[in-house]
Amino acid sequence: MRRLALLAWPLAFASTLACTPPPSGDAGDDAADDTTGDTSAETGDTGEALRPNWHQDIAPLVYGNCVNCHAEGSIAPFSMESYEQAAPWAAAVVDATEEGTMPPWGAINTDECQPAWNWRHDLRLSDEDKQLLVDWLAAGTPEGDPAEAAALPEPTSLDLANPSITLKNPAPFTVGGTKDSFVCMVMDPGHSEELWIDGVQVIPDNAEVVHHVLTYVDTAGVTDDMVDENGMFPCPGGVFFETGVAQMSTWVPGGLPTETPPGVAFRLPVGGKIVLAYHYHPTGNGDEVDQSSVALRWSTQEPDLPGYGIAYGAAFNSSGVEPSPDDVEGEPLFYIPANASGHVETYTLEIPAFVPPISVFAIGTHMHYVGVDMKISVLRGGEEFCVVQTPKWDFNWQRVYDIDLPLDQLPTLQGGDIVKLTCTYDNTLDNPLLAEALAEQGLDQPVPVYVGEQSLEEMCVALVNLATDIPIELFF
């Protein structure tokens, strides 16, 4: 039986610019019906342009937060690069930003979780920006005068500085049909000495179908017997948990390169392979082909602190899972009954007493389609401290969240700490992601769900990035 791998990876940044989803239903006419203002009469009683308007107020906001995804040829289903493209979607944009589903950022402060730090590259809009969108919609989405247009933000560079090598996927992959595809690609950098990677950049070839990508280092030849003749193998769920395989980064459209903090890097041993786990989303307009690449920046100099990470929780069995009110005699501890809503599974991990304080760079949550909320907290000295909560969990926008503090001020895990994972599931048809997953399997009703890696199985897993000069395998 496989156990959840102990992974070794550095800070896995998932930095993106914001994306906005389409409204439900047909995109064009229905969306346009919500913006019925007369944009030809765009001056008030004083003759001045109505505010807010596109050119003076909204375009800078959209270009600063949306167009890296919402552009022609990118992964988003519609473009927002011009007034004509954006205005019909104003109501949908307001709804999505008010609900917090866009920009796609899951780490949200709640009454039960208020971490004592900010997140690096936080995608959430400010309350002022949200109100600006509301006011624009209420005013009838005025365009304003192009002659008075505000300067647009300079586009953020998505290129990794000074890459050492760029590796292309070993073979093209065809994305078609109506179902998402999850596939891993394995590449050999061909290096002859131990290297330390401090920068990673995924370079999408076909941005219309590349939904997100996870990057790994295979340090132990795990994938040697898994790949086919094209250097690929299926990655159910879009993740790859195996002993000897270490995650480096998470990329989504518009994502910035992964760059570790100064003095921190992760090890690429001689013979190590690079693994990219792809989530492809079909366009619905026929077959599309992708052969993306990854750029790496490395050094032969050993860093001050190696980056490590652990992936722990319920992934392949019920070990460590606490009893639940919904437990059924004869069933494993991790069991979600069909049609159960608000079902909670709890997993705990005690840090051995002899472990010295180790810094936490970043933390992420991982579940599948039945999951709706996950919280990670630390119990210490009779108190519980919440580290992160993703109360609107969305499998399609999972990521690792980077703590925005200098190295010497980062939170630590200490000997005697108990790390607690609280995962909430909705195994009913009210859960839209579950309904979609059931339909893909030819089912129209929920089924009992157990722990595992398939789409209709579940996990409750924390991804934690650490830095320490003591090998983590000694105490985890």
Q: What angle do CA 85, 78, 97 make, to 5 degrees?
A: 90
Say whether both 391 and 468 belong to one domain. Answer: yes
Please give the pLDDT value at position 9. 33
Give the mean model confidence (pLDDT) for residues 41-63. 80
* Residue 175 is assigned to a structural domain of this protein: yes
Instruction: Out of 148, 179, 196, pick the residue that ends a domain.
Output: 148
How many domains are there within the chain? 3
Helix and strand numbers, DSSP H then E, in the chain: 6, 23
- Complete edge-to-edge strand list for the sheet that includes strand 383-390: 341-350, 418-426, 371-380, 383-390
* Residue 236 is assigned to a structural domain of this protein: yes
Please give the pLDDT value at position 48. 63
Say whether both 345 and 426 belong to one domain. Answer: yes
Dihedral-angle region of residue 471 (phi above 0 means left; psi in -120 to 50 means alpha; beta otherwise):
beta
Please give the pLDDT value at position 24. 37
Give the mean model confidence (pLDDT) for residues 351-380. 92
* Residue 353 is assigned to a structural domain of this protein: yes
Say whether both 144 and 177 belong to one domain. Answer: no
27 pLDDT band, cuts 50/70/90, is very low
Say whether both 233 and 344 belong to one domain. Answer: no
Please give the pLDDT value at position 236. 76
Say whether both 347 and 287 belong to one domain. Answer: no
* Residue 265 is assigned to a structural domain of this protein: yes
Which amino acid, 336?
A: I
Give the distance from CA 445 to its chain's centroid. Answer: 28
Torsion of CA 97, 98, 101, 102, to 10 degrees: 10
Please give the pLDDT value at position 347. 95
The CATH number of the domain holding residue 330 is 2.60.120.230
Judged on CB neighbours under 10 Å (0-12, 13-18, 19+), 120 is middle
Residue 464 pLDDT exceeds 50: yes
Give tens-digit pLDDT for 261-308.
888 888 999 999 999 999 898 887 899 999 999 999 999 999 988 887
Burial letters 89-113, b for 16+ CB under 10 A, else e: bbbbbbbbbeebbbbbbbbeeeeeb
10 pLDDT band, cuts 50/70/90, is very low
Instruction: Out of 280, 303, 326, pick the residue that ends a domain.
Output: 303
The segment with the largest mean pLDDT, out of 51-65, 209-223, 314-328, is 51-65
* Residue 432 is assigned to a structural domain of this protein: yes
Give tens-digit pLDDT for 91-137.
999 999 998 888 889 999 999 999 999 998 888 999 999 999 999 99
Any bridge partners for residue 165, and if so which? 296
Please give the pLDDT value at position 3. 34
Please give the pLDDT value at position 320. 85
Residues in the chain: 476
pTM value is 0.77
Dihedral-angle region of residue 39 (phi above 0 means left; psi in -120 to 50 means alpha; beta otherwise):
alpha
The CATH number of the domain holding residue 243 is 2.60.120.310
Instruction: Please count the other Cβ atoms lying within 10 Å of the Cβ belonging to residue 43.
Output: 12
Give tens-digit pLDDT for 184-206.
999 999 999 999 999 999 999 99
* Residue 4 is assigned to a structural domain of this protein: no
Give the mean model confidence (pLDDT) for residues 300-325. 85
Any bridge partners for residue 378, and if so which? 385, 419
* Closest among 183, 246, 172 to 211, alpha carbons compared: 183
DSSP SS3 for 147 = helix
* Residue 40 is assigned to a structural domain of this protein: no
Any bridge partners for residue 250, and if so which? 214
Say whether both 65 and 143 belong to one domain. Answer: yes
Say whether both 366 and 243 belong to one domain. Answer: no
Give the mean model confidence (pLDDT) for residues 248-265. 79
Which amino acid, 193?
A: E
Say whether both 297 and 325 belong to one domain. Answer: no
Please give the pLDDT value at position 17. 32
Please give the pLDDT value at position 22. 36
Say whether both 178 and 113 belong to one domain. Answer: no
Say whether both 184 and 295 belong to one domain. Answer: yes
Please give the pLDDT value at position 43. 58
Say whether both 358 and 447 belong to one domain. Answer: yes
Concatenate the DSSP letters of all residues of 125-137 into one string.
PPHHHHHHHHHHH
- Do 297 and 161 form a contact (C-beta atoms < 8 A)? yes
Give the distance from CA 191 to its chain's centroid. Answer: 30
Instruction: Out of 248, 279, 303, pick the residue that ends a domain.
Output: 303
Say whether both 114 and 241 belong to one domain. Answer: no
* Residue 438 is assigned to a structural domain of this protein: yes
Residue 181 domain boundaries: 165-303
Q: What percent of the chain has pLDDT over 90?
A: 51
Say which range, 244-258, 336-350, 416-430, 450-464, has the weakest mean pLDDT. Answer: 244-258
